[in-house]
Chains A and B, each alone.
Chain A
């Protein structure tokens, strides 16, 4: 928890954007209405795999619409996601292609002056298709020799031929697995399957683009990465970056779906440029359901342990169904093994991961990025091992987990750093006490219709993707801090806030470091023309990396301020300190040991201006050289109705080791939300495809994409959140991440509670009522 000497960290303040959001005044991309704005629509394929034989826009164009097909756009391949370095980025996307690779794939973009004309124009487009064989499962896709989903992909300018629809593969070996398994007294091996969850961010992905008189464009997109969006658009449309302004605008949720520059963004830009009009495209919910999903996984996990519980060897073989494009499949195969490697010590391990193209929506990162998937299998296996060895599952975890002083893989095998803070033991001890772990029933002698069970799982997420040596992933943030002439402060950064309070946290760090009241630090509007590069707000890096940059730059601005103050107070800079004077609501500079010798920060800034000394301002790009694990533990109690198979969540104890907690109220909200989405993945959420039509069986409807509702979750009184009392020495004022960690162990924890209630070990998610009734078999 927060150190006692912090003024603002660890205390709750109303979020800075709260009033705008509570009054409906916050503007999201879909809320932008510009004078003379046209409306756009993306035409989407009814077929899972087909070539375009002929496309005719004549009638649509006669109505006054502006139309684009593959013939009208640049052919060069790219990847929507720009987070990895070019050597690790697989290019298989085009703005529009001469073939479609899934139902819902874009084949044309149309814009018109009014919605009415647009609707008529869309219906007037004539297309002839050549239907191709489609592959809805990785198993079918890998059998194909011709009519592949992609014939090739590129890495930088080098072309690679695709074989059997295999998009990429990775193998990693450490130690000697065969010898390791020989030392094992117990070996557990299972196949695990995790679902194709839809992000369901509440605002469908949207974009507005306005061509500017100087030949440039201004873009208001749904995105998590302003600068990567700008850089990609610059490449695709051959625009110099100084004429390409991407504006930060809050998205109605992301959950990872906006790490890449979604197709709606470049489709909007393409049609706006051709029409030379401002254009808005808001995806329909159906289109959005065909646009992105969590990576589904199927893997065999084998772990061996000695009688005393020491883990000796492990083997993981994974097949990942990535849908019809690369977004970050290669990186995903890396993190899948990386998260596993960082959960429990294993000197001997072997990993083989394959990513396969199918004619489905492209899978991408979603909160946890592979960690919820692999943590489910690993934690379930740990539970099984504990049972077989007769060791308490908590003890087995504490004996083997990767903790203080050990090496953490923060983003696959190329991003490694040493762990400097570790609250796992504290979270397990407190959590087990609060849930009543000692009262866990024996799962194998249960009777009666309603059966309660208590389970747990632990996990983590990385805080950013920094490491001492840069790996496959880019990671830095630029921040600017400026002390204004009235003592207020502007913080400028391209960091995004997806709702968790990231920007408030960054502002709080600045306030704390400068010694000014929190409400005096403002977060400036940001766009790509006025901010330095920030890679993306993803990977739970907002507070640690983005906040870390703001904090370091605040220190620099403070030095400038103290330089000015030193001239006024006639004392050397290193004798000066700052603090907020809350009674006067001002920041104050004072001489250490002589508090009566002081001056307000506002007065220093004013005098610096009037004397022509300058503004106390600083700007710098900061790269964190560590990626500390933000640990979480979840203890869950459920009640299973053995007659209907219904699983009710009774009680939750969520534990988080986020280092020093900056916004406790908002941090608790991260755990509430993480649990909700994780429990949805455990009990309900999945998207499957009709193998004949290639369509989603939910038909793009939310009523048939089931999510948990308020009525399915425990009452607030039965949801406890605890924070570990840790300090991350590499983080800004002791802080590390929280976001994705809030979900990662949840599916495993829920499955563990269901096991304790029913005696059934589930290895496939979601666990549906019919699975309970079938005793976990036949599915």
Chain B
């Protein structure tokens, strides 16, 4: 059985048919080739699959594709306009907040959801916003610095 849905992905509207149990993560990675959303655990423990759903950070591995019907999804691929990087993408590179890079897409999207709401976040607010995003490389120090720097840009 397949269910028709229409979703907006990175600013464009799409109509597609998905299985009722299909996860948004798999649809993004396999149907849209948007592999910036990563599979790290598949059960909502690591945050590597984070995308924005109507501007809020959600775990795409815990989101059924059908539940995204009629909604707006932004993945890391949709964050810059293709020419210029988003300020957070710039600041993550400049501040050394990227090491292996596997958590980076999800981390940047969680940070974007935060600074859209709080343009000048405190350390404590940043730590709270990225609680669900595991980074095993950086010790989070440069990530916090990068989010602050990105917010100021």
Contact = CB atoms under 8 A, between A and B. Distances in A.
A721 to B, nearest CB: 9
A282 interface: yes
A634 interface: no
A701 interface: yes
A713 interface: yes
Given A22-B89, A202-B48, A251-B100, A673 B43 contact: no
Contact of A19 (B45, B85, B126, B144): B85
A450 interface: no
Interface residues of B, number: 57
B35 A202 contact: no
A643 B60 CA distance: 40
A756 to B, nearest CB: 22
Contacts, number: 178
A701 B42 CA distance: 11
B137 interface: yes
A672 interface: yes
B147 to A, nearest CB: 10
Interface in A481-531: 498-500
Contacts of A713: 139-141
Tell me the interface secondary structure of chain A in the complex: loop
A252 B141 CA distance: 19
Contact of B141 (A25, A199, A254, A672): A672
A420 interface: no
Given A14-B94, A21-B104, A672-B138, A282 B99 contact: no
A204 B75 CA distance: 21
A202 B46 contact: yes
B79 interface: yes
A716 B144 contact: yes
B41 A203 contact: no
A203 B102 contact: yes
Contacts of A672: 138-142
Given A22-B89, A202-B136, A252 B127 contact: no
Contacts of B137: 253, 499, 669, 673
A31 B35 contact: yes
A23 B77 contact: yes
Contact of B138 (A12, A25, A669): A669
A707 B134 contact: yes
Given A33-B30, A716-B144, A22 B85 contact: yes
A676 B130 CA distance: 16
A702 B38 contact: no
Contacts of A242: none
A709 B131 contact: yes
A675 to B, nearest CB: 6
B18 interface: no
A254 B101 CA distance: 12
A252 B130 contact: no
B114 interface: no
A685 B142 CA distance: 22
A35 interface: no
Interface size class of A (residues with CB under 8 A): 35 or more
A22 B30 CA distance: 20
Contacts of B55: none
B135 interface: yes
B128 interface: yes
A710 B143 contact: yes
- Looking at A24, A250, A285, A665, which has the most chain B CB atoms within 10 Å of its CB? A24
Contact of B102 (A18, A23, A202): A202
A702 B134 contact: yes
B45 A285 contact: yes
A669 B90 CA distance: 17
Interface in B100-114: 100-105, 108
A709 B127 contact: yes
A676 B142 CA distance: 12
B60 to A, nearest CB: 13
Chain B CB count within 10 A is highest, among A18, A31, A711, for: A18
Given A25-B36, A499-B137, A711-B131, A15 B93 contact: yes
Nearest to B142: A669
A203 B34 CA distance: 17
A689 interface: no
Interface in A28-44: 28, 30-31, 33
A203 B39 CA distance: 7
A150 to B, nearest CB: 32
Contacts of B121: none
Interface in A178-216: 199-204
A302 to B, nearest CB: 34
Given A203-B102, A253-B136, A711-B128, A716 B141 contact: yes
A21 B138 CA distance: 14
B36 A24 contact: yes
Given A672-B142, A673-B138, A711-B127, A23 B30 contact: no
A735 B104 CA distance: 29
B119 interface: no
Interface string A663-680: 001101100111111000
B145 interface: yes
B80 interface: yes
Given A24-B105, A28-B102, A498-B100, A676 B139 contact: yes
B38 A33 contact: no
B129 to A, nearest CB: 9
B52 interface: no
A40 to B, nearest CB: 15
A250 B38 CA distance: 14
B100 A202 contact: yes
Given A23-B77, A27-B35, A252-B101, 14 more contacts: A22-B108, A23-B79, A23-B80, A28-B102, A202-B38, A202-B102, A202-B136, A250-B101, A499-B100, A668-B96, A669-B138, A673-B137, A710-B127, A716-B145
The 5 closest A-B pairs by CB, nearest first: A24-B36, A252-B102, A499-B99, A676-B139, A21-B101
Interface of A: 12, 14-15, 17-28, 30-31, 33, 199-204, 250-255, 282, 284-285, 498-500, 665-666, 668-669, 672-677, 701-703, 707, 709-711, 713, 715-716, 719
16 contacts: A20-B101, A24-B36, A24-B37, A24-B77, A33-B35, A252-B40, A253-B100, A253-B102, A254-B100, A284-B42, A285-B43, A669-B137, A669-B142, A701-B45, A710-B143, A716-B145
Interface of B: 29-30, 33-43, 45-46, 48, 75-77, 79-80, 85, 89-90, 92-96, 98-105, 108, 123-124, 126-128, 130-131, 134-145
